[in-house]
Chain A
Amino acid sequence: MSSAKKAVKGDPARDVKIRPASAEDIPSIVELDEVATGHAKPEYWLQLFEHFSREHVERHAFLVATIDDRVVGFITGEIRPFEFGAEVCGWVFALNVDPQMRVHNVGTRLFDEICKIFARAGVAKVRTLIERDNHLVMAFFRSQGMMVGRFIGMEKDID
């Protein structure tokens, strides 16, 4: 089905705008994250935003999706050289969409945009880590064409 056929009047996906996050967006980002994770982390998001805005801005991406100027989703990621012995690649480490706005391509638009940023920086691969039980997010990244990569996450409890 063509995108023209898909877009119907009142479809929120038509009004989604993607832009770099600003300091004023942090409360909305904290709220979206809290809805998804159950934990409010205002300091974490503020520090991350400041770090991304200050240092190596060419390697960092912090984007928000808005509908009618309201933040309905965000994505963050960065380009890490030779992390874990791998080639330079883009890492997505947070993606969140307002549950009311899901299935309207907000996540896809955010993911597409961050991939474009990575590609413009010369990166040819994007990676992320997903908790095994997080079926919703895993299904989303699968639908974007992501497959299980060469790396396996490992962990242990430290005695």
Chain B
Amino acid sequence: MKLQKATMCGLYAVLELAAHPDLQISAGEIAEKYDISLNHLAKVLRSLVRARLIESVRGAGGGYRFCANPKRVTLLDVIELFEDVVPNPQQTASSDHWESRTLHKVLADLDDIAVSTLRSVSIMTLLKVMEKERRSVERASARGGAHPAPVEGD
């Protein structure tokens, strides 16, 4: 599955802000860290504010802050703000050819698995996985060994 650029920006922003819930982080800081255009990020942040996942804090030291429940917000919740990933059952049913219908069933299987996966991963879970990976790399570095292979993900 390949996600659109806006979706990736949205995910980066949500993860960055959710990882530091007590901080207000500026759009500029997020854009710089993830090497994304500030203009593009500004649009993405507006969508996230409208969805009440983040809020804008004005004034000196202002920026954005994560304001949702990271245990409840899933990857799918964020992705769906920017693109449509839930398969359309009409696509399979409306086809005229058996070949096409059968192929679409196989493709729908893949879509279902992808959507189930995205729906089951909360922001909190993802932050925990990231932290675990980070510690694992740090432990390996401290031992002076090679970096471990990335955990086989999904």
- A residues adjacent to B (C-beta < 8 A): 132-133, 135, 138-139, 142-143, 145, 147-148, 150
**Residue on B nearest A103 in the bound complex, by CB:** B71
A-B contacts besides A135-B119, A147-B154, 12 pairs, CB < 8 Å: A132-B116, A133-B116, A135-B120, A138-B116, A139-B74, A139-B119, A139-B122, A142-B120, A143-B125, A145-B132, A148-B117, A150-B152
Main secondary structure of the interface of B (DSSP, over half): helix
Q: Are B120 and A147 in contact (CB under 8 A)?
A: no
Inter-chain contact A139/B125, CB cutoff 8 Å: yes
Closest 5 pairs between A and B when the two form their complex, measured CB to CB? A148-B154, A138-B120, A132-B116, A139-B120, A142-B125
A-B contact pairs, 14 of them (CB 8 A): A132-B116, A135-B116, A135-B120, A139-B121, A139-B122, A142-B121, A143-B71, A143-B122, A143-B124, A143-B125, A145-B129, A147-B151, A148-B154, A150-B152
Could you say which of B116, B128, B132 contacts A143, with CB atoms under 8 Å apart? B128
Interface string of B21-34 (1 = CB under 8 A from A): 00000000000000
For B146, what are the chain A residues with a Cβ–Cβ distance below 8 Å? none
Interface residues of chain A: helix, strand, loop or mixed (majority): loop
Tell me, yes or no, whether B60 is within 8 Å of chain A by CB: no
List A contacts of B124 (CB < 8 A). Answer: 143
Expressed in whole angstroms, the Cα–Cα distance for A68 and B43 within the complex equals 52
Q: How far is the CB of A101 from chain B (nearest CB, A)?
A: 16
**A143 — which chain B residues lie within 8 A by C-beta?**
71, 122, 124-125, 128
